[in-house]
Chain A
Amino acid sequence: MGKIWRISGPVVIAEDMRGSQVYEVVDVGDARLSGEIIGLESDKAVIQVYEDTGGLRVGEPVAGTGEIFTVELGPGMVGNIYDGVQRSLVTMKEEIGDFIARGTRIPALDPDKKWSFTPTVKAGDKVSEGDIIGTVPETGLIEHKIMVPIGMEGTIEGIKEGQFTIRDTIAVLENGGGKKELTMAQRWPARKPRVYKRRFDPEDLLVTGTRIIDYLFPLALGGKASIPGGFGTGKTVNLQQMARWSQTHLNIYVGCGERGNEMADVLHSFKKLKDPATGRMLQEKEIFVANTSNMPVVAREISIFIGITMAEYFRDMGYDVLLVADSTSRWAEAMREIGSRLEETPGEEGFPTYLGSRLSSFYERSGRVECVGSPRRMGSATVIGSVSPPGADFSEPVTQATLRIVDALYSLDVALANKRHFPTINWLQSYSLYADTVDRWWKKVSEEYTYVRNQTLTILQKEADLEEIVRLVGPEALPEDDKLLLLVARMIREDYLMQSAFHPIDTYTDPARNHKMIYVIIKFYEMSRAMVESGALVSDIAGMKLKQRISRMKDIPNEEFDKYIADLLLDIEKSSIHEEGGG
């Protein structure tokens, strides 16, 4: 047992700490605040404290736990809300009320709740780390697979079916005379990546329901992406949208150093919304980690690792998991704060020199893998992090370090936000390295995917080029074919790319509908180009009823949509023939 020797903000130095280890979890002071050792020097330990250190005194006790920071994993996580050190905020609310008191111990998993466990192995079976030994229907959407904990193997001596709490023994493992009792819960170290058998390239589309992402800059299951943008450009709304509608098995939403009201909004809306594919409540496939900006800074740092460890755990069950983290800048700032308290030599803009490696130690835990254990199974963890660059200036260290790691970039644009063009994903600056691989996935929806995507991007690029000319000579001075291009580019922007997160239909677009929406516009372009060639004026085309009908397609309910589009395409076809015949 050591004693506090010095206190400076969230950093405490304790003496008499010989025998401790780096990253060991400690209880600090009479209030038993939780902390973690981040450095040792002779008998002194440098500790980062996860709770407000106000009121601590020199000489108060510091007790090591002998364990490094672990995440508690087992049934009861899905639908739960955790703070930055994995205390259940739902339980905390019930036990201590509406405000977060310091030194409160709250378990991550409900110790008394009974779960129905069904074994999938039997006595006599040989099992080892990662093997699935049984299942628990955790929610209507998630079947929790109980796996042999890390580092264990042996022969199943006994295994029980029935209703158990996470503390009850469900199986006994025999190994060379030693016996181990297994429960449904286990602990994994937060900072250590979980091993896997093999890694595969991401190749399947992660359907997010956001049109510009899925079609133009697609993300793949197991991929890693970043959303940088100035304040108010839509990072949070985009991430919330992905956490809502992504066609994954489970989503983890990590709110890191962001707003309490926003968390409340997410939590409340997820209680009301249904997953489009299954019709089940979204809460049944969601885990929240909420360490808001007024909660202790140091906990931001670990909260991200808690999130990714949970993602790996569910990935190992064979699921496709999506983790969104909002915002990684607040996470980086927490590291900067600790670094400066330790008087480390700072790197760029005061961030620690290990900023880049710490960021990649997070993003690199994404991936599509063959998991450890039998039965053989594949799982994926996709990671998307937002970045909040000061002054919306992307040249700053966190954005730059992130860009070197991720394979897809959704660059949010302040100018679009000011015009209320949402989502503000800039189509000229964003990219996805997954576009080529998920191409094959899209071909199942439509053979014409590549063509339509390329056309769309080309039109938008040309528009940007023409825009410069327009600013010099005005739109009226352009030749008709350029005017038409501008008109169509505008249709693409307004009738396709703009997508309201708050409109009941527009909020989620499935891939088939997504393709049809942009396909119609490209067909309209082909038709009208022929018309212009044969002498029609763009001002007349702009007034066509057809064009107006396209502009209303966003509002058409899914049940009527196919017919609406079929009619549109038919009429476009007719107009073209009419043109050709007439011209």
Chain B
Amino acid sequence: MEASQLFTRQTKAIAVARRSLLIIESIPGIRYDEIVDVQLGSGELRTGQVIEVGKVMTVVQVFGGVSEVDLLRSKVIYKGETLKLPVSPDILGRIFDGSGYPIDGGPPVVSDSYLDINGIPANPASRIPPAEFIETGISAMDGLNVLVRGQKLPIFSGSGLPHNKIAAQILRQASLKAKSEEFAIVFGAIGVSYDDANYFIENLETTGALSRAVAFINTASSPVIERLSTPRLALTAAEYLAWERDMHVLVILTDITNYCDALRELAAMRGEIPSRRGYPGYMYTDLASLYERAGRIEGREGSVTIMPILTMPDDDITHPIADLTGYITEGQIVLSRALERKRIYPPIDVFLSLSRMMKEGIGEGNTREDHNNVFMQSYAVYAEGNYLREISTVIGSEALSERDKTYLRIADRFEQEFISQSETERRSVEETLNIAWKLFSALPVEDLKLIQQEYIDRYLPKR
């Protein structure tokens, strides 16, 4: 019975093959969303997915396109399943492609546990708010835009900006403050160049982190449709390691822009009505189905922290990809071309950057008691200096008062001394906070009104 059922779950009755779609006469028992094999006349197999099923006709989207599909000899074989990933602790140290096949020359992962790559939403009542400070060693983050376990915090970059360097630095340096526990790393490369993908793999290799990492690589030359499955495979691996293996997992996904472009391409092929700039109207929900897989769950040891990287077309933060991401993630780290031109590394624009989970992760017991005050005061001082810098471009800095000139200088020093650091420098959060105090000491003490007196007494360097 089982075998004959399998046998009948295939058909040659393809009515239409257009763009990436096949319209096929329905046979009984087709499941919405299920995976199919499309066998070409030549015997070549392609994967597809049921995107609409009716009593009469079924629509299948073919990964890799319909070129060479003919209506006489090609065959559609229904698998009865949605896309799944075999999971076991052996996935650590391995490299897979965007369909989940090993590409590191190693054997396939043997497991009897298969997970649906779409995951299952966590019950909001089971989640616990992320709160554990992750020390990245980067001042612009640890001081002002703190990353915590279970957070989703993207890097908004532009083409040619050093997002890969920063992400690699975070991968190398990230650790929990008190414990020196190491993260398991899941890396998802989506439509990036071979070099970019390799940069990360090599980085992991040289630091010896590869043995606690899993990579899913879809390069620019791999099938477009697999750009959609790559992050889902990566996140499924991450969830497995976190929820079933008690690991703290840091997921890097790059580049989300390629992901969204693939989404747009496939939507256009389906003839869907596009929303802003041609991207589908459901892109918010689709991106959320990825990003929301970050978190902490009550009673489970592990955590999933996600750092997606995206390049903003035209450096435009209101572009739908950045915009919708910002609407879902818990803040963003924004890179600035202006700082890059000033040769500031990392060129993090702290005004546009934000970490929304910060308040729980800082202060006494997490970082240091004065952290929140220093954070607020830093923004106030730098914002003031920045504002004066703007107006002084018109009126000249000579027209400013002495007080204003001090602020102007501080803004520059803030960039050079606080934000700027080397690619290999790993600053402790105390060092980061102390740099801020050093800058504050150039100001009249009564200007430090966002800081409690006792911290001023304790931390302000004596002049």
Contact = CB atoms under 8 A, between A and B. Distances in A.
Contacts, number: 214
Contacts of A262: 330
Contacts of B372: 502
Interface in A226-276: 230-232, 255, 257, 259-265, 267-268
B400 to A, nearest CB: 7
B11 to A, nearest CB: 14
B55 A89 contact: no
A255 B125 CA distance: 13
A53 B33 contact: yes
B125 A293 contact: no
A494 B357 CA distance: 24
Contacts of B252: none
Given A54-B82, A293-B288, 8 more contacts: A55-B33, A58-B30, A59-B29, A98-B126, A260-B121, A261-B150, A294-B293, A340-B272
B54 interface: yes
Interface in B175-196: none
A569 interface: no
B351 A418 contact: yes
Interface string A50-90: 00011111110000000000000000000001000000011
A231 B383 CA distance: 20
A500 to B, nearest CB: 8
B323 interface: yes
Contacts of A260: 121-122, 124, 127, 292, 295
Nearest to B293: A294
A336 interface: yes
Contact of B123 (A98, A333, A420): A98
B406 to A, nearest CB: 14
Nearest to B290: A294
A55 B123 contact: no
B129 A268 contact: yes
A476 B402 CA distance: 11
A6 interface: yes
Interface string B115-144: 000101111111111100000000000000
A56 B123 contact: no
B394 A472 contact: yes
B122 A99 contact: yes
B93 interface: no
**Of B29, B121, B360, most A-chain CB atoms within 10 Å:** B121
B285 A92 contact: no
Given A340-B272, A391-B323, A418-B351, A93 B126 contact: yes
Interface stretch (B66-74, B166-174, B274-282, B410-418): B274-282
B343 interface: no
B370 interface: no
A472 B395 contact: yes
Contacts of B319: 391
B404 A346 contact: no
Contact of A89 (B123, B150, B327): B123
B446 A548 contact: yes
20 contacts: A6-B53, A6-B54, A13-B54, A58-B55, A59-B28, A89-B123, A97-B123, A98-B123, A98-B297, A99-B126, A265-B129, A292-B292, A293-B284, A293-B328, A295-B121, A349-B275, A393-B318, A419-B379, A471-B390, A548-B449
A520 interface: no
Contacts of B399: 473-474, 476-477
Contacts of A473: 395, 399
A6 B50 CA distance: 12
A402 B434 CA distance: 47
A274 B390 CA distance: 44
A433 interface: no
A388 interface: yes
B121 A388 contact: no
Contacts of B354: 232, 417
A438 interface: no
Nearest to A99: B120
A54 B390 CA distance: 54
A2 to B, nearest CB: 12
Nearest to B275: A350
A261 B303 CA distance: 12
Which 9 residue pairs of A and B lie closest in terms of their CB atoms, listed nearest first? Answer: A391-B318, A293-B288, A6-B54, A54-B33, A264-B127, A294-B292, A231-B326, A474-B395, A98-B126
B206 interface: no
A265 B449 CA distance: 29
Contacts of B288: 257, 292-294
A93 B281 CA distance: 32
Contact of A261 (B130, B326, B395): B130
A292 B379 CA distance: 32
Contacts of A459: none
B3 interface: no
B22 to A, nearest CB: 16
Given A268-B129, A340-B273, A54 B328 contact: no
A464 interface: no
A476 B318 CA distance: 36
Contacts of A99: 120-123, 126
Nearest to B118: A54
Nearest to A393: B318
Contacts of A89: 123-125
Interface string B139-153: 000000000001100
Contacts of B326: 230-232
A41 B331 CA distance: 46
A137 interface: no
Interface string A444-480: 0000000000000000000000000011111111000
